[in-house]
Amino acid sequence: MRETSGRSLLSDRVRTKSTAFSREERDALGLRGLLPHNISDIDTQKMRVLANMRRKAFDIERYIFLTALQERNQTLFYRTLIDHIEEIMPLIYTPTLGQACKEFAHIFRKPQGFYITLEDSGHISSMLDNWLEKDIRVIVITDGQRILGLGDLGANGMGIPIGKLALYVACAGIQPHQCLPVMLDVGTENEELRKDPLYLGYPYPRVQGDDYDALVAEFVDAVQVKFPKALIQFEDFQTPNAYRLLNTYRDQVLCFNDDIQGTAAVALAGVYASTRISGKKFEDLKIMFLGAGSAVTGIADLICAAFQQKGLSYDEARARLWFVDVEGLVVGGRSDLMPHNLPYAHAHPQLDFLSAIRTIQPDVLIGSTGAPGTFTKEVTQTMAEINERPTIFALSNPTSSAECTAEQAHEWSDGRAIFASGSPFETVSLNGHTHRPAQGNNAYVFPGIGLGAIVADATVISENMFLAAAEALADEVSDQDIGEGAIYPRLPTIREVSAKIAERVADMAWRDRVAQASYPEGYTRVIQDYMYDPVYSD
């Protein structure tokens, strides 16, 4: 029995310490003889993990290795991730996660997360009973239709909720057992996937319309019963579904859409911080967006609210925000616009992208198109002609989809660009100056927003909570960051940044009267006490 117990303990990813068990623990827990003689503390184990990870030839192999570690030893995985986040985050998140999702069925090792198909209609509530953990606080759900810039990947998109929740844990200290990744597997229009004999998803065309909405509604309702304190994060839904679901549930349950609202908060924070370099007043900025999907429209909506917070009227705020899509400048009279684009369709002659820049003369250019190279040399040089310090955000993920690279932005602007991107780029040296590209990654805000919502026991997430998150993130950009040309903090500070964001978000939830938990001394100590710290217990 002692041997069975010992083997079971070593196989328990939550409780195992592997070679870190002491002599006394090995005797007491039936582990004697089941481990090598030498005792390795967690720092030594990290050395071994890093050495093995680094000898892999390709990033996708490193992803597979790290996923296996997460399944084998949860504490060691998160300790290594937190302590080496600059190196490891790109391997478990963007850009490597894009390839991992494309190959998800082919590199599948062990089931993770929760899967729902149309055949489960009417059974979702009872199915949730199959999930072992009952105190779920964060759910990330996708239907796999718009994974990063890669399109419809069906059930292969499960890599996204898994990766996002790993960042909730690492970046904001959400307890791992309180996280639930969910795949709403309603089929795929990707015929290549449906014909793949290794594909693991629902191998039929996508369910749409009333059946789709009913399945989502059943899931959301079941969560309110089974996990009433859970935050639902909608992730990588196609734009029409993303907006419809957000508008349906945002005032009913604790939820948000990261592509719309999380991206918006990160971008707004970057715009705030950019004014410390450009010297311009935030409320005086003109901003142009390339693309008209959910991400950039969400950014515009939040910036519009921020402008109004600075004293502009709604019409004045809207007049400072311009869109360009594949048809050119978004203007009134066009019959091909979606409802979320209409507020930004100005009365103006139709123009192509470059002509729009020359005519409108924006201070800030933000792209989220999924189309690489759309910020051309001519585009960048034009921005530099009309701005002493042009602000250029190339936010598309993964790296291969970025509108331009950091090197291009700096070279084409003679080193004057204020640059941010969705995926990481290497430092750029130009004309004797070193430019550190800022990564405007959603990981800077969604973990902190989730943490704030949890400690405040929020019922919904208000727009003011996203504004508070953006202000908090901008405030964490140091003078040293600004001196290096970076408008986001260094990644190793992300846990401290998330804690600051959580504090502001929780406080705003209370002021907006959507928080059910308050503390006379504030939320700071509560946040510190809650945050998961991956160390081996005695």
Quote the pLDDT of residue 3. 42
Q: What is the pLDDT of residue 1?
A: 33
User: How high is the mean pLDDT of the chain?
Assistant: 95
Residue 287 reports pLDDT greater than 80: yes
Give yes or no for a contact between 297 and 340, defined as CB atoms under 8 angstroms apart.
yes
Neighbouring residues of 37: CB distance < 8 A, sequence distance ≥ 6 = none
Please give the average per-residue pLDDT across 203-231, as a whole number.
97
User: Tens digits of per-residue pLDDT, 252-262?
Assistant: 999 999 999 99
- Residues in the chain, overall count: 538
Contact 402, 422 (CB under 8 A): yes
Once rounded to an integer, what is the mean pLDDT over residues 192-209?
A: 97
Among residues 102, 164, 280, 500, which one is catalytic?
A: 164
Active site residue 164: yes
Confidence of residue 284 (pLDDT cuts 50, 70, 90): very high
Among 78, 93, 344, 536, the one annotated catalytic = 93
pLDDT at 495: 98
DSSP tag of 37: S
What does the pLDDT look like over 97-147, one tens digit per residue?
999 999 999 999 999 999 999 999 999 999 999 999 999 999 999 999 999
Question: Which domains does the chain possess?
Answer: 1-40 (no CATH), 103-253 (3.40.50.10380), 261-443 (3.40.50.720)
pLDDT over 70 at 309, yes or no: yes
Q: Are 147 and 236 in contact (CB under 8 A)?
A: yes
Residue 453, pLDDT > 50, answer: yes
The pLDDT of 483-503, averaged and rounded, is: 96
At 431 the pLDDT is: 85
Terminal alpha carbon distance of the chain? 22
Residue 21 pLDDT greater than 70, yes or no: yes
- Give the model confidence (pLDDT) of 46-65 as tens digits: 999 999 999 999 999 999 99
State the alpha helices, DSSP H only, in 387-460: 406-412, 446-456
Quick one: average pLDDT of 461-465? 98
